[in-house]
Structures are given as structure tokens and as C-alpha cells.
Homo-oligomer: A and B are copies of this chain.
Amino acid sequence: MNSYDNVDSSISKEVPMDATLSMGGNTHKIPLKLFQENRRRLAKNLKLKHVEKGSIVLLEGGNDIPLYDSDTTYLFRQESYFMWAFGITEPGCFGVIEVDTEITHIFIPKFPQEYAVWMGKILEKEEWSKKYAIENVHYVNDMPVVIKNLNPSLILTLKGINTDSGYYCKEAKFDGIDNFKVNNTILFNEIADLRVFKTDYEIEVLKYVIEMSSAAHRKVMRSVAIGKTEYQCESEFLHYCYNIGGCRHVSYTCICGSGHNASILHYGHAGAPNDRLIKEGDICLFDMGANYFGYTSDITCSYPANGKFTDDQKLIYNAVLNANLTVLNSAKPGISWADLHILAIKSLLDDLKKGGLLKGETEEMLKAGVGAIFQPHGLGHLMGLDVHDVGGYLSNNPPRPNHIPGIEKLRTARILAERMILTIEPGCYFIDHLIDKALADPDLSKYLIPDVVNRFRGFGGIRIEDDVLITKEGAVNLTKVPRSVEEIENWMSGKDDSKYKKFD
């Protein structure tokens, strides 16, 4: 089911198109209508589900997180469901949507006037209303009274599990909510499913952040050098995205693996903080994505640090690129994501066979789990306000598959549909731990040619990750980076500037 349809006339006041959020300069102007459209889609779907007349949706935004016991905080990031519905970038708020009328209320913290010294002018309710184009603004303190006056027949709150993390989302609460009829089972599926399908407004924001991240990747490709540390490349990426693109956050900790580190899927964490010196002969696998007002991107580029592929690097790179392009050309509405995962793995196995690393029937290898030795992760994932976006395994979706080894790692097994945005990210890694295990297991080792596989130990890995939009005609690749061996070598040597959109 495609949950997205153009929304027709509504009772709530139209948000003007010139009301926007942006970081100034040439950064993308996000129309606040984006959030009104999301609220309308939600209200419409809830009405289609025949929720009681007089129901309201209640969501709670995020709060500042202190750095332990200190008076400093982590840089604030808004909770994604709340952002999706209200577009508010500040902590400490709640929001209400009246389902029948789509009329919206937000509840904001009330600060004493003295706070102006520290925070700047304390905005009045009318100023919040204008800033976020929301009709009704109240103070959080007044929630019990305001909601009582709305006299809702039912309060819909959000409770559901994130299938990537295992964590529950934050269910809104306020003093006195127990005096109302509350339902926390209806909302989650509806809103999570709507988040899967991007509106035109959302597609524009995602295009912006993906193109900005692409430009930053291109910049890094040209600044990488033997003798630099990996984190200097991370720093270059962060600076480009913020300085040029107004992206104050990235969507996840940058993974900047060089050499052997390119085989560590989530390299870059506190225990391995991108602190290795890049050496001659290294492959770089840089997985980095900017974030613009919550909207994410997630792009991986893999290339030789010195700008010139060796034969072995070409072999593995082209095998992964082939898998990537095969999926890109096959992805379209109606196709199962799980089937595309298998398609990618088969393509990879075929090419590794041609390259002399494997022997045997592809279908047999697939079932035995040879693919998962070299690509121990899923083909890709939904992407939106979370980098691993919600809605992967909702109650009415295909369940988590497990018919071949490794496929259980997929973050969704949904049937593709228009307006989904996903990553396509096949990879091939040489992970000692997995190779050792495979060589010790007769059911797997019979497919491996040990001398050749062992030659690749220490190689690291290749991942080619694109962000794509599913349209009626198929997948549209929104990522704009050099991808073929030739394109990469040309780009890194300073040629071929023409085909990319310039931001700086």
C-alpha cells in the first residue's frame, strides 16, 4: 500500500509557502508546509481508520541532555516523530493535532524574563506561532487546562518498538493525563508507515542534504593523502557540510576506515576514533552523511588513498559496483527488498568466482552463507528523519526473513513502493574473524580458494552506498559522486569537474 496521496482541502488554516526553516545564505529553505502536510496525512489516515470523533494526537518533543552532572549539554537534536509532525527545532515542547479538523497546538516552555540575558529575547507565544507557522501556542505548564478545554474523546499517544535498536519511542505524558481516555496502540503504526513515504517537500530536503553530502565526499576525495590521519578526512567532511551546507549535525558518527580498518563496519567509535595514519596502498572506505534539520543522508565512497586502483582493488571494487548497479537497475515499485538483497549477493558471488576467490555453484554458495562471509550486512535500509528509518517491520509488513544466512540482518523486507528513500549499499570485506571461521567450516571452506582469499587479508573492504528514491519508473540515484574506477581516478587526479553541481 502506498500511504501517500495528495491531501485535499482541510479545515486547518493553510501554512503560507514563504514560511520556511533554513540556515540562511544559499542553504535550502524548508517550507513549514512540509510539516502541515504530514499532520494532514496523519489526520486523514486516522479518520480512514475510524478513530473516535473528537480524538487528538499528542506527541512529546526531545529535551536537552546534560553532559553528566555538568551544566553543559549535548548539542540538541529534535526527536524524529515530533520533528516530522511539527518542525520545531527547540527542546522542551509538546504538540497536539485535533484529528477531525487538523487544527494544531504546540506547548512551549515558559522561561523567566531573566533568561533573556543568557538565551536572547524570550519569544512570545505569537512569535513562536509565526516562526513555526503553528496556529495555537500555549505554555507546557498550561497543558492540563488547555487539553481539558479541547475536551478530547480520546488521546492518541505514541508507543512502539524501533526494530533496529530494540528501544521504545518516548510516549507523551503530562500531569493529569490519567483523567483522559488514552490509546497508545493505534498511532505508532500509522505515523511510522507515513514516515516511510516521502512527500514532495521532504524529497526536496533529502535531495539537498544528499547532494551536499555528495559534494563533501567529492571534496574529501581530493584532499585525502598518504600521511594524513583518517580523522582529518572526517574533519574536512564535517567542515564542508556545515560551512557550505549549514548542516550542523551529521546523521551518524563518520566511519573513516583506511587499510584494514575499511573492513570494520562501524569503525570510528570511541574505541577506534578514526585515528590511524593513512598509508601508501590503502583503500579508504568513508561512510559519512550530513544532516539538515533532522533529514539524513548516508553515503559511502571507497577508493585508493593514492588515487590509482591496483588490480586487486579493481577486482573487488568492480564486483561491488556491479552488485550496486544491478540493484539500482532492478529496484522499482512491487519488487521485494529481500529479493534485491539476494540479487546483490548473487552478483557479488559471481564476480568473486570470476575473480578466482571462490568456486562452486552460486545458488549453493548463497544457501550455504558464503555471501555473508564477505558482506555480513543487509543490502540497505529506509532513510528519512532517522538514518535507519522507521517502518521497516510494521505489523502489516513482510516479517524479518531468514531463508538464507545473513538476510536476517536486513532492516526491512518491504515491497518497494513509490516515494520510499533507501540506501543501496552492497559491500565486500575481508574480515579475519569471518574468513577464519569459514576456512574452519567444511560446509563453507569448500567454496573458498584459500590462497587467493588469503591474499586479500588486510585489504580492508569496499562499500558503495547510494541514496535512492523509488519512483514509478524505478530507482533514481540522488547521490552524485564519481563511481566507476575511471571516474574516481579522473576525479582524484583533478579532472572532470563539469558534471557535478557546485555549492562553493
Contacts and interface: CB of A to CB of B under 8 A. Distances in A.
Given A25-B277, A117-B434, A243-B232, A74 B70 contact: no
A270 interface: yes
A147 interface: no
B70 A386 contact: yes
B162 A71 contact: yes
Interface in A155-210: 161-162, 164-165, 167-170
A431 interface: yes
Number of copies: 2
B90 A165 contact: no
A121 B276 CA distance: 15
Contacts of A25: 229, 277
A258 interface: no
A267 to B, nearest CB: 6
B71 A270 contact: no
A87 interface: no
Contacts of A77: 67
Contact of A80 (B68, B165, B269, B273): B68
Given A67-B77, A72-B387, A117-B264, 5 more contacts: A70-B80, A70-B162, A116-B431, A234-B242, A236-B243
A243 B275 CA distance: 11
Contacts of A66: 165, 167
B243 A118 contact: no
28 contacts: A23-B273, A24-B276, A64-B270, A65-B74, A69-B161, A69-B169, A70-B386, A70-B388, A71-B165, A71-B388, A72-B252, A73-B253, A76-B269, A90-B270, A113-B433, A117-B264, A117-B265, A117-B431, A118-B265, A119-B266, A119-B271, A120-B272, A229-B246, A231-B242, A231-B246, A232-B243, A236-B239, A238-B238
A62 interface: yes
Contacts of A388: 70-72
A369 to B, nearest CB: 14
Interface string A269-295: 111110111000000000000000000
B248 A119 contact: no
A465 interface: no
Interface of A: 23-25, 62, 64-77, 79-80, 89-91, 113, 116-121, 123, 161-162, 164-165, 167-170, 229, 231-232, 234-236, 238-239, 242-243, 246, 248, 251-253, 261, 264-267, 269-273, 275-277, 376, 386-388, 431, 433-434
Given A80-B68, A239-B238, A277-B24, A270 B167 contact: no
Given A65-B65, A117-B434, A275-B24, A270 B238 contact: no
Nearest to A62: B68
B69 A167 contact: yes
- Listed from nearest, the 8 A-B pairs whose CB atoms lie closest are A239-B239, A71-B165, A76-B270, A235-B242, A235-B243, A120-B264, A71-B164, A69-B169
A121 B269 CA distance: 13
A315 to B, nearest CB: 22
A264 B118 contact: yes
Nearest to A116: B433
A169 B71 CA distance: 12
A34 B251 CA distance: 35
B170 A69 contact: yes
Given A69-B168, A71-B165, A71-B388, A269 B235 contact: no
A251 B73 CA distance: 10
A251 B77 CA distance: 18
* Interface-central residue, A64, A77, A239, A388, by most chain B CB under 10 Å: A239
Given A80-B70, A242-B231, A388-B72, A23 B117 contact: no
A156 B260 CA distance: 43
A90 B271 contact: yes
Contacts of A123: 271
Contacts of A64: 270
Contacts of A165: 66, 69-71
A247 to B, nearest CB: 10
Given A74-B74, A116-B433, A267-B120, A275 B242 contact: no
A88 to B, nearest CB: 10
A170 B68 contact: yes
A391 B235 CA distance: 34
